[in-house]
Structure 1
Amino acid sequence: MIRHQVLLVDDCLEDRVTYRRFLEKDSNLHYQIREATCAETALEQCDQQFPDTIVLDYLLPDADGLEFLAELKQQFPERSPSVILLTGQGNEAVALQARQLGVQAFLVKGELTAPLFREAVHHALSLSVNKAAETLSQTG
Structure 2
Amino acid sequence: MALRKAVILLVDDSEIDRRIYGRYLRDWADIEVTLIEAPTGKAALEACAEVAPDCILLDYRLPDVDGLELLEQIKRITDAPVILMTGQPAPMMLTHAQSLGIAGYLWKEVLGSARLREAILIALRVGIDAALQRAPERVG
TM-score (norm 2): 0.90
Aligned length: 137
Residue 46 in structure 1 maps to residue 48 in structure 2: yes
Q: Supply the distance in 1 between the matched residues of 2:131 and 2:30 (Cα, whole angstroms).
A: 21
SS in structure 2 at match of 1:137: coil
Q: Supply the distance in 1 between the matched residues of 2:137 and 2:75 (Cα, whole angstroms).
A: 20
SS in structure 2 at match of 1:4: strand
* 1:37-116 to 2 correspondences below 5 Å: 37-74=39-76, 76=77, 79-116=78-115
Q: Supply the distance in 2 between the matched residues of 1:100 and 1:139 (Cα, whole angstroms).
A: 31
SS in structure 1 at match of 2:7: strand
Structure 1 vs Structure 2: percent identity of aligned residues? 36
User: How far is 1:73 from its partner?
Assistant: 2.7
Runs of 5+ unmatched residues, structure 2: none
C-alpha offsets along residues 65-96 of structure 1, whole Å, 9 cap, x if unaligned? 1010111234x2xx321111110111111111
Q: Supply the distance in 1 between the matched residues of 2:136 and 2:73 (Cα, whole angstroms).
A: 27
Give 2:8's aligned amino acid: V
Q: Supply the distance in 2 between the matched residues of 1:96 and 1:8 (Cα, whole angstroms).
A: 22
CA RMSD of aligned residues (A): 1.8
User: How far is 1:23 from its partner?
Assistant: 1.0
Q: Supply the distance in 1 between the matched residues of 2:35 and 2:136 (Cα, whole angstroms).
A: 28
Give 1:18's aligned amino acid: I
Q: Supply the distance in 1 between the matched residues of 2:71 and 2:43 (Cα, whole angstroms).
A: 14
Give 1:87's aligned amino acid: T
SS in structure 1 at match of 2:135: helix
Give 1:83's aligned amino acid: V
1:13 to 12, 15, 32: 15
Question: Moved runs in structure 1, 4+ residues, more than 6 A?
Answer: none
